[in-house]
Chains A and B, each alone.
Chain A
Amino acid sequence: MSKLAARAALITVAAIALVAVFAGLARLGIPLSFAGARAGVHGPLFVLGVFFTLISLERAVALGAALGYLAPVFGLCTGLSLVTDWAPLRPAAALAALALVLVNVALCRKQASVHMALMLVGSLNLLAANAAWVTGSAVSDVVPSWLTFFVLTIVAERVELARFVAPPRAAVRALLLLSFLVAALTVLGLLGLPSSERALGLLLALIGLWLLRYDLARRTVRQRGLPRYAALCVLSGAGWLVFAGLLLVALGLPRVGPTYDAILHAVFVGFVLSMVFGHAPVILPAVARIALPFHRVLYAPLLVLHIGLLARCSGDLALVPWLRQAGGLLNALSLLAFVAGALWARRHAAASHDPNHAFGAV
């Protein structure tokens, strides 16, 4: 794909993310007329328009075939249909997931492995969820499957990277078993069959604990620069996955209200967005040929993200609305701070010309 197309895609993702952020703030009761009408689709905007598009773009670049880019293009269409509230475009969500399934199949054919199988299963979960969502299922019914897609995709990458440090074979098997059980459990839930959200919580908490104990990040956190930063993103994200899992075990998954809010944001902000922060400096050069040199200023948005989420979840659980609002606002600011930090790091690197930080400069 041309540099230009990738950058246009990223700018569109950023615009969708902006609407999603304002929709979220409106949802928190912070008066912002700009996106108040989109408050109801804050979650789908982020999940399908932003996170899915980024992940499928990454996969399409890995595959390197033109057809692979259909997945992120359909992802953008889904996002735009939500932004504009244009219903005829909404089935793009199902096509997007289908395209990603096919991309993952193609990648499996390139080189089959257990982590590719996990990615494939994750995308199948997404396909099931999106098919249900476009045919009228409520977000709260499909959200466990959305969550599964992200957890399985991220776990697959961590399983792949775990090979560097060779954790005990039994531990890897246990992680795979936990992940496939998560997939099975959420599919059962989607089909309306008895499925326990508390059991899902237990599995998620165990997966988080596994990452905290065995992940490559435990080693790379002792390095410097980008590997250390990325490792801290992974480990802090894993901490939030444990937190979300334990909340699910204790309280189940109510369909609305503060507990629902805390659990979903612990997963999607704490786990997924934290991973996105850590991954961006690695992936952006590859995806859009935008060099994002690492600078420690990037720790600031990460810190704001976790403090904000802590405030939000405390506000949710202690029923303190202003704390929840303040947390949400901080999370919005963390995204802004990340973009600002990235731009600042680029200028800083351009000024200092440090070849060691210039990955992606050629």
Chain B
Amino acid sequence: MAHPPTHPAHPERVCWGCDQYCPADDLTCGKDTVRTPHPVELFGDDWNAPSEPESPDAITRSRAIEALRSVLDPEVGINIVDLGVLYELSVQAGAIRVGLTLTSPACPLGAQIQREVRARLLALKGVERVEVAEIWDPPWSAERMSDVARSALGVGA
């Protein structure tokens, strides 16, 4: 398969939709009505620049978020990350700070979910301290749910 150039001189003259690289106004494949742009047009010259090597804290942060996907809101059966109640998660030298909200102040599950969050995070390698705070402002709303949560509930994404 032919590899496209990473920085073509005139990306706008070509359709980049498949590996045929037809002229921009050709469109004989019938797949679309406009040509597909080159990533350099969409994201700029540094579209393929290697990202900076991640710091240990950043790696811990993404592993922490993955770990919290196993903490469920038992009422709706959706994890707290996709539910959007995880407001804040910062890592600093082995200490994690988590900010959580609840969908309602009348919900008695807060302490239970906090205990579970703490247990999951402390089980991660290199995590020494976990601090969990309750956040009530701004209130949770359904827009905070991820598409995964929406499709689990069968509501339009």
Q: Which residues of A are in contact with B by a Cβ distance under 8 Å?
A: 58-59, 61-64, 104, 107-108, 110-111, 113, 115-116, 119, 156-157, 160-161, 163-166, 216, 219-220, 222-223, 225-227, 230, 281-283, 285-287, 289, 355, 359-360, 362
Interface contacts (Cβ under 8 Å), in number, total 99
A179–B119 Cα distance when bound, in Å, is 40
Give, as a whole number of angstroms, the nearest-CB distance from A134 to chain B: 26
Report chain B residues within 8 Å CB of A226. Answer: 74, 77
A75–B78 Cα distance when bound, in Å, is 33
Report chain A residues within 8 Å CB of B142. Answer: 163-166
Interface size class of B (residues with CB under 8 A): 20 to 34
Give, as a whole number of angstroms, the nearest-CB distance from B157 to chain A: 12
Report chain A residues within 8 Å CB of B103. Answer: 160-161, 163
* Known pairs A164-B145, A166-B155, A362-B116; A62 contacts B76 (CB<8 A): no
**A contact face: mostly helix, strand, loop, or mixed:** helix
Assess whether B22 is interfacial by the CB under 8 Å rule.
Answer: no
Assess whether B8 is interfacial by the CB under 8 Å rule.
Answer: no
Contact between B139 and A282, CB atoms less than 8 A apart: no
Q: Which residues of B are in contact with A by a Cβ distance under 8 Å?
A: 70, 72, 74-77, 103-112, 115-116, 119, 136-137, 139, 141-142, 145, 152-155
Chain A residue nearest to B156 (CB atoms) is A166
Contact between A223 and B109, CB atoms less than 8 A apart: no
* Known pairs A116-B105, A282-B109, A287-B108; A220 contacts B139 (CB<8 A): no
Give, as a whole number of angstroms, the nearest-CB distance from A253 to chain B: 30
* Known pairs A165-B155, A166-B142, A227-B77; A362 contacts B115 (CB<8 A): yes
One of B72, B76, B106 near A164 (C-beta < 8 A): B76
Give, as a whole number of angstroms, the nearest-CB distance from B124 to chain A: 14
Report chain B residues within 8 Å CB of A282. Answer: 74-75, 109
One of B72, B105, B141, B152 near A107 (C-beta < 8 A): B105
* Known pairs A59-B106, A163-B142, A359-B74; A285 contacts B155 (CB<8 A): no
Contact between A115 and B111, CB atoms less than 8 A apart: no
A230–B104 Cα distance when bound, in Å, is 18
A161–B111 Cα distance when bound, in Å, is 19
A115–B142 Cα distance when bound, in Å, is 15
* Known pairs A163-B141, A164-B142, A219-B153; A281 contacts B74 (CB<8 A): yes
A111–B103 Cα distance when bound, in Å, is 10
- Other than the given A219-B155, A230-B75, 20 more pairs (CB < 8 A) read A62-B110, A64-B111, A111-B136, A116-B105, A160-B104, A161-B76, A161-B103, A163-B141, A165-B142, A219-B153, A220-B153, A225-B77, A226-B74, A227-B75, A227-B77, A282-B75, A282-B109, A286-B109, A286-B112, A362-B115
One of A156, A230, A285 near B106 (C-beta < 8 A): A156
* Interface pairs (28), CB distance under 8 Å: A59-B106, A62-B110, A64-B110, A64-B111, A104-B106, A111-B104, A111-B139, A113-B104, A113-B105, A115-B106, A161-B75, A161-B103, A163-B103, A216-B76, A216-B153, A220-B76, A227-B74, A227-B75, A227-B76, A281-B74, A282-B109, A283-B109, A285-B74, A286-B109, A286-B110, A286-B112, A289-B112, A359-B116
Give, as a whole number of angstroms, the nearest-CB distance from A214 to chain B: 12
Residue of B70, B111, B119, B139 with most partner-chain A CB within 10 A? B111
Report chain B residues within 8 Å CB of A157. Answer: 104, 106
Contact between B119 and A362, CB atoms less than 8 A apart: yes
Report chain A residues within 8 Å CB of B77. Answer: 220, 223, 225-227
Contact between B108 and A58, CB atoms less than 8 A apart: yes
Contact between B108 and A113, CB atoms less than 8 A apart: no
Contact between B112 and A62, CB atoms less than 8 A apart: no
Give, as a whole number of angstroms, the nearest-CB distance from A100 to chain B: 11
A222–B155 Cα distance when bound, in Å, is 12
Contact between B153 and A360, CB atoms less than 8 A apart: no
* Known pairs A161-B76, A163-B142; A285 contacts B105 (CB<8 A): no
Contact between B112 and A285, CB atoms less than 8 A apart: yes
* Known pairs A220-B77, A230-B75; A165 contacts B153 (CB<8 A): yes
Report chain A residues within 8 Å CB of B153. Answer: 164-165, 216, 219-220
Report chain A residues within 8 Å CB of B119. Answer: 362
Give, as a whole number of angstroms, the nearest-CB distance from B60 to chain A: 20
A84–B45 Cα distance when bound, in Å, is 82
Report chain B residues within 8 Å CB of A359. Answer: 72, 74, 112, 116
Report chain A residues within 8 Å CB of B108. Answer: 58-59, 61-62, 283, 286-287
Chain B residue nearest to A104 (CB atoms) is B106
Contact between B111 and A223, CB atoms less than 8 A apart: no
A149–B146 Cα distance when bound, in Å, is 35
A116–B136 Cα distance when bound, in Å, is 14
Chain A residue nearest to B112 (CB atoms) is A286
